[in-house]
């Protein structure tokens, strides 16, 4: 009897996932423990292993979004059973499991390949592959006429001719000139990059976003961190400015709770839990970068050591690619610290991480002129940009929050009161 490969539930908040790629082709023999499928949810990719051996029958193609528990593929015990499954449940049968309202594409539609797109390892001759790449052709959609469905040169040539006849614009291969500009490389908008793009555009479409800029005197925080770093051996960890900012932010949010809110179904929901998301940059390849926002839960109830451990653990897993959806969901406020990238990036207009109502961007600490007690002095100042949703927040609570944040940063001793 065939075994099911289903969409696993990776966390309490997970409802669905998108098929990213199959690691085996239709009909391939799969052994228990083999990674057969890669899925994506909440910008997190996850490898799914086969729980039993069998011959793979794929029923959900890359780009398809499926709910937790839905069947993505089946593992037949015999070749005969595989043929029966292929007849009864054609490839793509699961594509309608998550349907969209009439006239609107499903969440996975933008990433889905055209009809006939194949998954997993593609059998293609080196000459055919080179020809396809030279012309920017996605050869996963090409039907192979060679032995065992192998794509040969003639198949690619036919596909190119069909594309030209249809007037499709080919992707620009490296070295080609377009309007007098030479192409260095082409990066498809997919995976994490597409998830970020969709999320950011959605945020700007649904929220009335306004950014206010300020500077924060970091003299006392620098002194505080220096003392802690000098005692690293005894306290057991090396504190970072991000650790301190999360610690201080959580206390500021507790003092001004309306900043820790979301607009949901025409109601402003003020959250009891203070879960701070911390933006982490990822270098995916030579040209591609990514961004993920792991969450420090109940940051207001954590000590500085606990915040340090929580951040170190989740950031390490994010960069190792082993992070889970629960690690990046449930935030109520986000911090993005661009100071780690150097002095050139100061203020900005960060985009709110929906469905939150505010995000704080901090920059590098730089010595600047400042007036203190009527005297012009040089102080280590940190630029800060706070973007907030004007549907939820007005200028008054934002000003109160920033003043509270400034007070805690300039007088960190009051954090123990």
Residue closest to 226 by CA, chosen among 218, 29, 263:
218
Phi, psi at 54, each rounded to 5°: 160, 180
**Which helix H or strand E contains 39, and what residues bound it?**
strand 35-41
**Which helix H or strand E contains 398, and what residues bound it?**
helix 395-410
Q: What angle do CA 150, 152, 153 make, to 5 degrees?
A: 165
| DSSP-assigned states of every residue in 319-380 | HHT---GGGGS--SEEEEEGGGG-TT-----PPP-TT-SEEEEE---EEEEEEETTEEEEEE
The active-site residue out of 57, 273, 327, 394 is: 394
Query: Between the CA atoms of 301, 304, 305 and 306, what dihedral angle is there, to the nearest 10 degrees?
Result: 30
Please report, for residues 123, 250, 252, 308, 311, the alpha-carbon distance to residue 239 in angstroms, rounded to integers and kept in the order given. 51, 16, 20, 7, 11
135 is annotated as an active-site residue: no
| DSSP-assigned states of every residue in 119-152 | -SS--B-HHHHHHHHHTT--GGGPPP-SGGG-B-
- Is residue 136 a contact partner of residue 172, using CB atoms and an 8 Å limit? yes
Cα–Cα distance measured from residue 300 to residue 316, given in angstroms and rounded to the nearest whole number:
22
The residues, any chain, with a CB within 8 Å of residue 268's CB and separated by 6 or more, are: 258, 261, 262, 392
In the DSSP assignment, the letter for residue 285 is S
Cα–Cα distance measured from residue 136 to residue 160, given in angstroms and rounded to the nearest whole number:
10
Residue 382 pairs with which residues in a beta bridge? 216
Classify residue 323 as left (phi > 0), alpha (psi -120 to 50) or beta. beta
394 is annotated as an active-site residue: yes
The active-site residue out of 28, 135, 390, 407 is: 390
HSE-up (13 A, CA, CB side) for residue 167: 0
Residue closest to 323 by CA, chosen among 70, 46, 55:
46
- Is residue 384 a contact partner of residue 360, using CB atoms and an 8 Å limit? yes
Which residues are marked as active site? 390, 394
């Amino acid at each position: 009897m065939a075994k099911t490969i289903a969409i696993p539930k990776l966390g309490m908040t997970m409802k669905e996932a998108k098929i990213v790629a199959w690691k085996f082709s239709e009909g391939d023999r799969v052994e228990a423990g083999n990674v057969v499928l890669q899925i994506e949810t909440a910008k997190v990719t996850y490898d799914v292993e086969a729980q039993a051996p069998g011959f793979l029958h794929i029923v959900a193609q890359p780009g398809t979004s499926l709910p937790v528990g839905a069947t993505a593929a089946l593992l037949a015990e015999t070749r005969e059973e595989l043929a029966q499954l292929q007849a009864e449940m054609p490839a793509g049968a699961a594509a309608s499991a998550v349907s969209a309202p009439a006239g609107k594409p499903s969440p996975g539609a933008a990433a889905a390949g055209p009809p006939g797109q194949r998954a997993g390892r593609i059998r293609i001759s080196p000459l055919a592959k080179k020809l396809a790449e030279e012309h920017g052709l996605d050869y996963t959609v090409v039907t192979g006429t060679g032995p065992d469905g192998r794509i040969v040169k003639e198949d690619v040539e036919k596909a190119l001719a069909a594309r030209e006849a249809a007037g499709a614009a080919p992707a620009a291969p490296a070295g080609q000139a377009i309007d007098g500009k030479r192409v260095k490389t082409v990066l498809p908008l997919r995976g994490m990059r597409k998830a970020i793009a969709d999320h950011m555009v959605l945020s700007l479409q649904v929220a009335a976003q306004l950014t206010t800029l300020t500077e924060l005197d970091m003299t006392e925080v620098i002194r505080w961190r220096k003392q802690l770093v000098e005692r690293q051996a005894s306290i057991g960890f090396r504190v970072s400015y991000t650790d301190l900012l999360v610690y201080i932010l959580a206390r500021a949010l507790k003092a001004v709770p309306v900043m820790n809110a979301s607009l949901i179904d025409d109601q402003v929901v003020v959250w009891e839990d203070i879960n701070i998301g911390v933006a982490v940059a990822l270098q995916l390849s030579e040209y591609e970068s990514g961004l993920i926002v792991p969450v420090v839960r109940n940051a207001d109830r954590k000590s500085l050591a606990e915040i340090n451990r929580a951040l170190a653990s989740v950031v390490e897993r994010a960069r190792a690619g082993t992070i889970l959806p629960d690690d990046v969901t449930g935030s109520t406020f986000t911090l993005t610290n661009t100071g780690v990238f150097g002095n050139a990036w100061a203020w900005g207009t960060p985009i709110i991480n929906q469905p939150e109502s505010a995000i704080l961007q901090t920059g590098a600490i730089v010595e600047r002129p400042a007036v203190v007690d009527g005297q012009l002095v040089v102080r280590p100042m940190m630029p800060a940009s706070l973007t907030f949703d004007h549907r939820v927040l007005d200028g008054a609570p934002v000003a109160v929050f920033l003043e509270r944040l400034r007070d805690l940063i300039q007088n960190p001793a009051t954090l123990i009161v």
